[in-house]
Homo-oligomer: A and B are copies of this chain.
Amino acid sequence: MITETNLRVRYAETDKMGIVHHSNYYVWFELGRSDLCREKGFSYLEMEDDENTRLVVAESRCHYKSPAFYEDELSINTRIGRVRSRSISFFYEVVRPATGTLIAEGETKHIVTDTNNKIRTMPQKYRDLLTTDD
């Protein structure tokens, strides 16, 4: 399953080069993760606030293929990589649908922790939701 998140590039996301600053792609990946959780049937907010479970970013990487510009309408395509008891990874593609251009692709790896930053196992409820394929 791939989750599609649509966004329009914000002025504040550009830099003096006239293109989107590369750090913002990681913020967009995060939007993709939130939407993926929502599509899988739960809210990342509730998991964090109600279930003492956080997905702390352990690694992130991005390969920038083509620049993005102010007011570009982009899609973030997010899918789950590997789900383990104490870690999870996600893959992302940023595309400009109007031109079919691949803007970037990336990955984030997460450790499951409690709200005190201690590693814990992911509650079975979320693991089931994340690994259900539909």
Contact = CB atoms under 8 A, between A and B. Distances in A.
A24 B27 contact: no
B71 A43 contact: yes
A45 interface: yes
A117 B11 contact: no
A52 to B, nearest CB: 12
Contacts of A61: 59-62
Interface in A1-28: 8, 10-12, 14-19, 21-24, 26-27
Interface of A: 8, 10-12, 14-19, 21-24, 26-27, 30-31, 34, 43-45, 48, 54, 56-64, 67, 69-71, 117
Contacts of A62: 59-61
Q: How many copies does the complex hold?
A: 4
Nearest to A61: B61
Given A11-B15, A44-B71, A60-B61, 9 more contacts: A10-B31, A11-B30, A12-B21, A12-B30, A15-B15, A16-B19, A16-B70, A17-B56, A59-B64
